[in-house]
Amino acid sequence: MPSAYAFLSLEMDTPTLQSASRLVYKTGIAVIGAGQAGLSAAYHLKKQGLEIGRGFVVLDQSSHPGGAWQYRWPSLTLRTVNRIHDLPGLPFSDTVAGNQPEVQANLAVPHYFEVYEKTFGLTVYRPVKVKVVCERDSRFRVETDRGFFSSQGIINATGTWETPYVPVYPGAGLFEGVQLHTRDYQTADAFVGKHVVIVGGGISAIQLLDEISRVTTTTWVTRKEPIFRSGPFGEKAGRDAVAIVEARVRKGLPPGSVVSVTGLPWSPAIDAMRKRGVLDRQPMFSEITAHGVRWPDGREVMADVILWCTGFRSSLDHLMPLMLKEEHGGIVMGGRLATMVAKNPRIHLVGYGPSASTIGANRAGRAAATELMDYLGLTHAR
């Protein structure tokens, strides 16, 4: 590996990156991930005067724009998602798909992100998968499958989609049916004629329970008794929820689930599920058998499918050499919006903890860009 650095130019395409993978491309800030948080950070870096290439680069492992949204199940439409928050400078409603509530979210949001990248000239290098980030010569070395980068700072926006969480239960290896996770779900029709055990108490679990229970029999299982909230989830409630998660990450604790803070919003669809008897929630089983699941009292339910709607964990494995995690499994976060890694202020995590929501990711992108540029002494636009 040569010691001299090559500069990444705006004209360099990914095939050139691959053919020149022995070089190390030097930049100011590496933004890893081009979902909501990554695009927000990139927008503010450019707005504040950094040039794409020498000033910052955006690396994304997907072949197309859209972040994790492009992988969502087809039945998730703009009407059924919580809300698509606007990226800075371009309202979602200004795109064609943004005004069609029945359009699939996995089509509408990627289209919005693509328009956004083109509108603001945000060059995203893709598909580029970051394998590992380590420190070398007072800089960060970002090793990818398409080449190597050297940066002064890191804004990590890799989200959670690549790290589905499935808890370990006795007997899981004995189950003769199929075990799936939320990210594997495509359509309820795949479960016709099968009994499905749906595990999880989040919004996605409720949505999939609703769809699947319309075509087959289901058993709903959660670790804790679900808490449904009625009435609008106002601005104050949102701030309070974010504050709870922020307090955790500032202490170095894992962020925890959003639903544990906000509760599940009651809706006409959920009321209809209650009337159909679908919300007959069962406590968590103690073991998995060859043909189903079993509770401590010996009661057993036969199942063909166990669908784990048990959430995701932050996709941070590529940062492991930096040793950011504390003994409790979390990362001590600092900065105005808790995006800055306390033990290494040259690293910001957006889309982590309090910035995991789409609206939180927007604000975090701006905070991370501003604070990191200030810390590194990079020039702001006047």
The pLDDT of residue 241 is 76
Tokens of 167: 């808890």
Tell the burial category of 30 from Cβ atoms under 10 Å away from its Cβ (0-12, 13-18, 19+). Answer: buried
pLDDT surpassing 50 at residue 302 = yes
Of residues 120 and 73, more confidently modeled: 120
pLDDT band at 85 (very low <50, low <70, confident <90, very high): confident
Q: Is 79 or 4 the better-scoring residue by pLDDT?
A: 79
The residue with tokens 């004995």 is 174
Q: What is the pLDDT of residues 204-236, one digit of tens each?
A: 999 999 999 999 999 999 999 988 877 665 566
Domains in the chain, please, with CATH? 6-162+312-376 (3.50.50.60), 172-227+263-308 (3.50.50.60)
- The torsion of the CA quartet 327, 333, 339, 345, rounded to 10 degrees, works out to -100
Task: Answer with the residue of higher pLDDT: 7 or 303.
Answer: 303
Closest CA to 341 of 359, 328, 323: 323
Looking at residue 238, its pLDDT comes to: 67
pLDDT of residue 237 exceeding 70, the answer is no
Task: Please enumerate, as own/partner, the contacts of 203-206 that have beta carbons within 8 Å and a separation of 24 or more.
Answer: 203/82, 203/259, 203/264, 203/265, 204/309, 205/309, 206/264, 206/270, 206/273
pLDDT at 261 over 80: no
Q: pLDDT class for 321, splitting at 50, 70, 90?
A: very high
> pLDDT at residue 12 above 60?
no
What is the sign of the dihedral through the CA atoms of 40, 102, 182 and 70? negative
Query: What is the pLDDT at residue 284?
Result: 97
Helix (H), strand (E) at residue 171: none
The answer to whether residue 14 scores a pLDDT higher than 60 is no
| Higher-pLDDT residue of 263, 73 | 73
d(CA 122, CA 115) in angstroms, rounded, equals: 10
Query: What does DSSP assign to residue 214?
Result: T
On the question of pLDDT at 328 being above 50, the answer is: yes
Residues 284-310: what's their mean pLDDT? 98
Higher-pLDDT residue of 375 and 96 is 375
**104-119 pLDDT, tens per residue?**
889 999 999 999 999 9
Question: Could you report the per-residue pLDDT of 16-52, keeping only the tens digit for each?
Answer: 454 445 688 999 999 999 999 999 999 999 999 999 9
Query: How many residues does this entry show for the chain?
Result: 382
For the cut 70, the answer to whether the pLDDT of residue 2 exceeds it is no
